[in-house]
Structure 1
Amino acid sequence: MPATGLAILGSGIFAKEAHLPALAELGDSFELKAVYSRSSKSASAFAKDAQEALKLQSPPDVYHDEDTSVSLDVLFARSDIDAVIVVLPITVQPAIVLKALAAGKHVLSEKPIAPDVSKGRALIQEYETKYKPKGLVWRVAENFEAEPGFQAARRVIREGKLGKIVYFNARSYNWIDETSKWYNTPWRTVPDYQGGFLLDGGVHTIAALRLILDSPFTTLSAHASLAKEILPPQDTINAIVSTANGAHGIVELSWGSPVPSRAADAHNSISVTGKDGWLEITRASGIVRITVKTATRDEKGTVTGEQTAVIEEKEAGVQLEIASFLEALNGKDDGLDGPRGTLVDVAFIEAALNSDGVAVDVGKLAAL
């Protein structure tokens, strides 16, 4: 089959540092034909970056908002562009996703699915009723869902190696100050969406938990606060969560560390404990490590000790989610990054931001 004609919409940090290197690993299954950004300067600079990263003979065509002859509408009118990867600010993306679908383009849009559950739900409903029946593919690029390490942890649990899951914990503490490249992205510095970094970054942890656990979230009770004044509206969540099969856990998310050591020494991880053992997932230097400890028993079932297995996987989530998206365009849909799943991630954050200690039904909030 001919290579997919592809365009990238957005020229920010993640498009440059994650998407371009990922595309460079994917060979000739696509042809990057165009890039778009709001300004001519950023679009042109990104096109040069793309030419270098992908070793193109010439840069992809440039589109921007400063000249109607090379506007986004003109890009969408091109018949040789089959699909777009949308890497734009959170509040901008929903309208662009719909515009792309209306133009007959397949879409891979960066997480989160939308700035809130209401907008995410409306997006899914319009896609499923209007565009999915036409054969158009829309996925939400949640790279943690594609990570081989998290997929490996999921298999350990699904294979019953830990027994019935009883409790779990997820901890993510982060250090952000005024010099951070992420903070200095204008739309993150003064966010016009709920939760700030908690929504932008927190959905990753929730997506990992959603993938790994063998039962969906039911209710949560949480408190949210602002620990660091430069990170409004909130930067910290502490939540108690239950799942449909009776397991429960604690989720700690914060971008409000007062000094770097609070994040560095937090032992950020995900742990899941069952009746027959437990696992812990950590990330460092581009590697996801899963340490699995399971009970050994005698013929009477009495615990006599434990055994350890370690699984290490190189981080490759962005590359694999793009590869999976391109495969889906050829009819090989593995279900990765489905919009309904990523709506749950936003619902979790939204519920935690608004709980104020009162139990919130996450499943009901995320229902369509």
Structure 2
Amino acid sequence: MPDGLILPIANQKDYIRAALEAGKHVLSEKPVAKNLEEAHELITCDTETDWRKNPVHQGGFLLDGGVHYVAGLRRLLESQPSSKVCRLSSFTTLLQSHLPPVDTINAILKLESGVSGTYQQSVGTSLTGSEWTVGYEHGVVSVAGSKVVVTVAGNTEVNIIEDERTGVPPVVRIWAEAIAAGITVKDLEPEEALADLEVLELMLRSGESDGLSMSCQYQHIVSNPN
């Protein structure tokens, strides 16, 4: 039976590194680390461990919870190779004094295809819910919770996706099944977590610099062989 540890984000790195160096499998909650530097260090450690070769954090709650929304957004966009985020600009603010350093992000994201869109997240207002809307030339796809609405040429199709109200149980199952089968799963690769963290960290950095445009470096994932 796997062991579980509940840790502050700022303390994750040392425990993950110790487990990797001990030859253990590791399933880490997002974000992968408190910043890109530590995330990159962990992935380097991960790829250098024997099991690979031989079969006090930024952003406050915006990082803690927001990285999951960024992961969902990247998943929605991944169907086209040119739909990866390449540049972004954002403004951040603190609306509630008990949620430092910032509790609100308003960002513009540019994809490699030239398409742009907005990302908004706030834990400092009374607004609730999480929604994604993607507009295409001939239709619109919107996701709100487990409800997916696809509208094409005026015709609307509504799908309700059954879930477990949380992503943790299915992720743990998929992770365990992959270990048992001796395979890797793309969505659970640490490089995917690095790409998620990059988008959110750059939004925070851009906000600190009054909307300065930032470029992404880690959005093209090269998966490790089984």
Q: Gapped runs of 5+ residues in structure 2?
A: none
Q: Secondary structure at the match of 1:107?
A: coil
Residue matched to 2:63: 199
Query: CA contact under 8 A between 1:321 and 1:336: conserved in structure 2?
Result: no
Residue matched to 2:150: 292
What is the CA-CA distance between 1:254 and the residue it aligns to? 0.7
Structure showing the higher strand proportion among its residues: 1
Deviations 1:9-67 (A, max 9, x none): 23xxxxxxxxxxxxxxxxxxxxxxxxxxxxxxxxxxxxxxxxxxxxxxxxxxxxxxxxx
Is 2:130 the partner of 1:276? Answer: no
CA distance in 2, matches of 1:270, 1:352: 18
350-359 vs 328-337, greater mean Cα deviation:
328-337
Query: CA contact under 8 A between 1:343 and 1:366: conserved in structure 2?
Result: no
Deviations 1:207-263 (A, max 9, x none): 001111032110001111111101011111110001112221100011111xxxx31
Q: Which has the larger radius of gyration?
A: 1
Amino acid at match of 1:310: V
Query: CA contact under 8 A between 2:90 and 2:105: conserved in structure 1?
Result: yes
CA distance in 1, matches of 2:219, 2:152: 36
Within-5 A mapping of 1:36-185 = 88-131=7-50, 132-135=52-55
Amino acid at match of 1:347: E
Residue matched to 1:318: 168
Counting aligned pairs with the same residue, the percent is 34
CA distance in 1, matches of 2:87, 2:115: 11
Gap change, CA 1:364 and 1:9, over 3 Å in 2? closer
Q: Secondary structure at the match of 1:7?
A: coil
What is the CA-CA distance between 1:363 and the residue it aligns to? 2.8
Q: Secondary structure at the match of 1:92?
A: helix
Is 2:3 the partner of 1:7? Answer: yes
1:329 to 179, 192, 210: 179
What is the CA-CA distance between 1:98 and the residue it aligns to? 1.0
Residue matched to 2:216: 362
CA distance in 2, matches of 1:366, 1:124: 15
Residue matched to 1:142: none
Query: CA contact under 8 A between 1:222 and 1:353: conserved in structure 2?
Result: yes
Residue matched to 2:114: 246
Gap change, CA 1:366 and 1:97, over 3 Å in 2? farther
Residue matched to 1:339: 190
CA distance in 1, matches of 2:211, 2:44: 31
Q: Secondary structure at the match of 1:234?
A: coil
CA distance in 2, matches of 1:354, 1:111: 19
CA distance in 1, matches of 2:53, 2:149: 43
TM-score, normalising length: structure 2: 0.87
Supply the RMSD in Å over aligned alpha carbons: 1.9
Gap change, CA 1:367 and 1:327, over 3 Å in 2? closer
Within-5 A mapping of 1:256-267 = 256-257=124-125, 262-264=126-128
Aligned pair count reads 211
1:220 to 60, 78, 88: 88
Q: Gapped runs of 5+ residues in structure 1?
A: 11-87, 136-191, 296-305
